[in-house]
């Protein structure tokens, strides 16, 4: 009799354990689904990515973005842009001669991929004299160093502690930006 009771109680406890495991798994699945609902995809990660295309086409006026293939190329170059803020910032630092050709604008848009906003670019350019980044390739290098550097606060902090004489050269600022962003 004891053996039967032991078997029944063991079976009952295994059934409870199994139900308990199922419940835990179901709860875990629920929260996993909720996390996907909160972050469903790129539209939420890049809510204003169409802004990059808008800014790029504005840079190419009056004849820019008048061709379907041109729009497609620029749109591809804008992939990974959080908004148009980075590309808009380049307008402040380059004359229209350096940004009036679709290939030039594409190069700038690609450089802005993964750069959040314009805080790092502003912080960096404020530290440098204008002739440190006076052509597109130098500005592209500077923008690339801002990838992963959220707002430029780290760059400003480091340069305040090091002094302006260690933050007045393009290579120095690029190195600081990369270090702040954890880039190799």
The DSSP string of 98-149 is: GG-SHHHHHHHHHHTTT--SSHHHHHHHHHS-GGGS-SHHHHHHHHHHTTT-
**CA neighbor of 153 nearest in space, from 181, 184, 111, 132:** 181
Q: What is the mean pLDDT of the chain?
A: 77
Using pLDDT thresholds of 50, 70 and 90, give the confidence band for residue 98. Answer: low
Examine the domain organization and report whether 82 and 96 are in the same domain: yes
Residue 139 lies in a domain: yes
Using pLDDT thresholds of 50, 70 and 90, give the confidence band for residue 171. Answer: very high
Torsion of CA 136, 52, 82, 160, to 10 degrees: 40
Examine the domain organization and report whether 95 and 148 are in the same domain: no
Q: Which comes out higher in pLDDT, residue 13 or 52? A: 52
Q: Where are the alpha helices (DSSP H) in the chain?
A: 2-38, 42-45, 50-59, 68-77, 85-93, 102-111, 119-127, 136-145, 153-162, 170-181
**CA neighbor of 119 nearest in space, from 95, 153, 158:** 153
Model pTM score: 0.70
Number of structural domains the chain divides into:
2
Residue 103 lies in a domain: yes
Using pLDDT thresholds of 50, 70 and 90, give the confidence band for residue 87. Answer: very high
Examine the domain organization and report whether 94 and 127 are in the same domain: no
Examine the domain organization and report whether 122 and 99 are in the same domain: no
Range of the domain at 86: 43-116
Is 90 exceeded by the pLDDT of residue 121?
yes
Angle between helices 68-77 and 50-59 (to 10 degrees): 120
pLDDT of residue 40: 41
Q: What is the distance of C-alpha 41 from the center of its chain?
A: 14
């Amino acid at each position: 009799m004891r053996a039967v009771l032991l078997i029944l109680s063991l079976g009952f406890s295994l059934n409870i354990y199994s139900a308990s495991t199922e419940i835990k798994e179901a709860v875990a699945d629920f929260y996993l689904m909720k996390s996907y609902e909160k972050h469903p995809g790129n539209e939420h990660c890049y809510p204003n990515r169409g802004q990059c295309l808008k800014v790029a086409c504005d840079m190419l006026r009056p004849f820019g973005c008048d061709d379907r293939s041109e729009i497609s190329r620029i749109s591809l170059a804008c992939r990974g842009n959080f908004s148009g803020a980075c590309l808009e910032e380049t307008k402040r630092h380059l004359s229209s001669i350096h940004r009036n050709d679709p290939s030039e604008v594409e190069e700038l848009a690609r450089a802005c991929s993964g750069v959040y906003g314009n805080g790092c670019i502003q912080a960096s350019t404020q530290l440098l004299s204008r002739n440190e980044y006076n052509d597109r390739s130098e500005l592209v290098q500077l923008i690339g160093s801002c990838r992963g550097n959220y707002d430029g606060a780290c760059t400003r902090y480091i340069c305040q502690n090091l002094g302006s004489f260690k933050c007045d050269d393009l290579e120095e600022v690029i190195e600081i930006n990369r270090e702040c962003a954890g880039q190799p």
